C-alpha cells in the first residue's frame, strides 16, 4: 500500500447501492479510498462492488443493512467504532415524501425520522471518537434544499433535513479545531430513485430543476476540497448563501433577552 492510499483510508457510505451514494462510491474509489458500502439491497451492492473493484482496484466490502432497524444501526455503529481504517463517513441514506402530514402513514413518518435523523446521528457519534483520536477525518451529511425551503416537500421530510443542516453546523463548531472536517450538502432535485419512493416521478418535475447525481457529487467533492461547511451545488452565487447565513447570525444577540419584545404588550 503506498502512502497516498494509506492516507485516503476507508470510506463508509450509507445508501450506497444507487443514486448519490453509488456515485460517491465511484468517485472516492477513484481517489484511492477503500470502501464499505451500506444499503438494504445486497444484490445491488454486490454488483456495484464488483464493478468498482475491477475499475479502481480498491478493497470494497458490502454490508446489507436497513438503517430504520435498531439492530442494523448497531451493527454499523460497532464497525465505525472498531475499524481504525475508516477515515470518511458519508451519511447519504435517506427517504422522502411529497404527501401532506394528514395524508401520511404515521409509521412511515417514524421510519423517515429514524433514517434521516436518528441513524445519521448515531453513526456520526460512533465514528467521531476514532477520527478525533487520529486527529483527522471527514464526515459528510446529505441534507436537502428543503432544510432552508421547507414548503417544497412533506413537512416531516423538510423538518428532518433541517435537523441535518443544524446538526452539521453545530458539529463543525465542536470539532473543527481537532482535525475533523464536517460538510453538509443541500441537493435540489436530483435524478435518482428517491423520487419514486417519495411518490412522484422525476419526469413530472421541471427538467431544468433536475441535476444528475454525478454532477451533484462532483460539485459536493469540489466544495469539500474548497473547505465549505455548507455546499449548495445549484446556488449560482456563494455570496447569496453567505448573506443568508450572515442574516441568521445577526439574530443571535436578540434571540434570548430578559423581556419580550414590545410588540407583544407584556408589561
Q: What is the DSSP string of 224-267?
A: HHTT-SEE-TT-S-HHHHHHHHHHHHHTGGGSS-SS--GGG---
Task: Check pLDDT > 60 for residue 196.
Answer: no
The SS3 of residue 182 is strand
Beta bridge partners of 141: 91, 184
Residues shown for the chain: 267
What is the helix (H) or strand (E) element at residue 181, kind and residue range? Answer: strand 180-185
CA distances from residue 196 to 97, 199, 240, 246 in whole angstroms, order as listed = 9, 5, 31, 36
pLDDT of residue 163: 98
Q: Assess contact for 168 and 180: CB atoms under 8 A.
A: no
With a pLDDT cut of 70, the percent of the chain lying above it is 91
Please state, in angstroms and rounded to a whole number, the distance separating the CA atoms of residues 69 and 28.
Answer: 27
What integer pLDDT is reported at residue 97 of this predicted model? 79
Taking residues 129-156, report their average pLDDT: 95
Rounded average pLDDT over 201-223: 83
pLDDT for the residue numbered 208: 65
pLDDT of 203 reads 63
Average pLDDT, the chain: 92
pLDDT-derived band at 154, boundaries 50, 70, 90: confident
Closest CA to 138 of 149, 127, 151: 127
**pLDDT tens-digit map of 59-80:** 999 999 999 999 999 999 999 9
Contacts of 20 (CB under 8 A, 6+ apart): 92, 142, 187, 190, 192, 213, 216, 217
pLDDT tens-digit map of 11-35: 999 999 999 999 999 999 999 999 9
| CA proximity to 18, closest of 53, 45, 52 | 45
pLDDT for res 5:
39
| CA dist list (Å): 184 to 20, 35, 205, 221 | 14, 20, 24, 11
CA pair distance 24, 96, nearest whole angstrom: 20
User: What pTM value is reported for the model?
Assistant: 0.92
| Mean pLDDT on 108-125 | 97
pLDDT for position 197:
58
**Domains of the chain as residue ranges with CATH:** 3-264 (3.40.50.720)
Mean predicted confidence (pLDDT) in 210-217? 93
Q: What is the pLDDT of residue 226?
A: 97
Q: What is the DSSP letter of 116?
A: I
Average pLDDT over residues 220-235: 97
Find where cell 416531516 sits: 156
Q: Is the pLDDT of residue 99 over 80?
A: yes
Over residues 148-159, mean pLDDT: 92
Mean pLDDT over 115-138 rounds to: 98
Question: Which residues lie closer than 8 Å to 238 by C-beta, 6 or more apart?
Answer: none
- Cell numbers 444577540: residue: 253
Q: Is 157 a catalytic residue?
A: yes
The Cα–Cα gap between 76 and 91 comes to 12
C-alpha 38, offset from chain centre: 14
What CA–CA distances, in Å, run from 5 to 11, 37, 127?
Answer: 12, 18, 20
Amino acid at each position: 500500500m503506498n502512502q497516498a492510499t494509506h492516507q485516503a483510508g476507508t470510506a463508509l457510505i450509507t445508501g450506497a447501492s444507487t443514486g448519490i451514494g453509488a456515485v460517491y462510491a465511484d468517485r472516492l474509489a477513484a481517489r484511492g479510498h477503500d470502501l464499505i458500502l451500506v444499503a438494504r439491497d445486497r444484490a445491488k451492492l454486490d454488483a456495484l462492488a464488483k464493478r468498482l473493484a475491477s475499475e479502481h482496484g480498491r478493497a470494497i466490502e458490502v454490508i446489507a443493512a436497513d438503517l430504520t432497524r435498531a439492530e442494523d444501526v448497531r451493527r454499523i455503529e460497532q464497525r465505525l467504532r472498531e475499524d481504525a481504517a475508516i477515515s470518511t463517513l458519508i451519511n447519504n441514506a435517506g427517504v422522502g415524501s411529497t404527501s401532506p402530514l394528514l395524508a401520511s402513514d404515521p409509521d412511515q413518518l417514524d421510519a423517515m425520522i429514524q433514517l434521516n435523523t436518528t441513524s445519521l446521528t448515531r453513526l456520526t457519534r460512533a465514528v467521531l471518537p476514532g477520527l478525533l483520536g487520529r486527529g483527522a477525518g471527514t464526515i459528510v451529511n446529505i441534507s436537502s434544499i428543503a432544510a432552508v425551503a421547507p414548503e417544497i416537500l412533506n413537512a416531516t421530510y423538510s423538518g428532518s433535513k433541517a435537523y441535518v443542516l443544524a446538526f452539521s453546523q453545530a458539529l463543525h463548531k465542536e470539532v473543527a479545531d481537532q482535525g475533523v472536517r464536517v460538510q453538509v450538502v443541500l441537493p435540489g432535485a436530483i435524478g435518482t430513485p428517491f423520487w419514486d419512493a417519495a411518490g412522484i416521478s422525476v419526469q413530472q418535475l421541471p427538467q431544468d430543476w433536475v441535476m444528475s447525481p454525478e454532477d451533484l457529487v462532483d460539485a459536493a467533492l469540489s466544495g469539500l476540497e474548497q473547505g465549505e461547511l455548507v455546499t449548495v451545488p445549484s446556488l449560482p452565487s456563494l455570496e447569496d448563501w453567505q448573506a443568508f447565513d450572515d442574516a441568521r447570525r445577526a439574530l443571535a444577540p436578540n434571540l434570548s433577552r430578559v423581556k419580550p419584545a414590545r410588540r407583544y404588550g407584556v408589561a
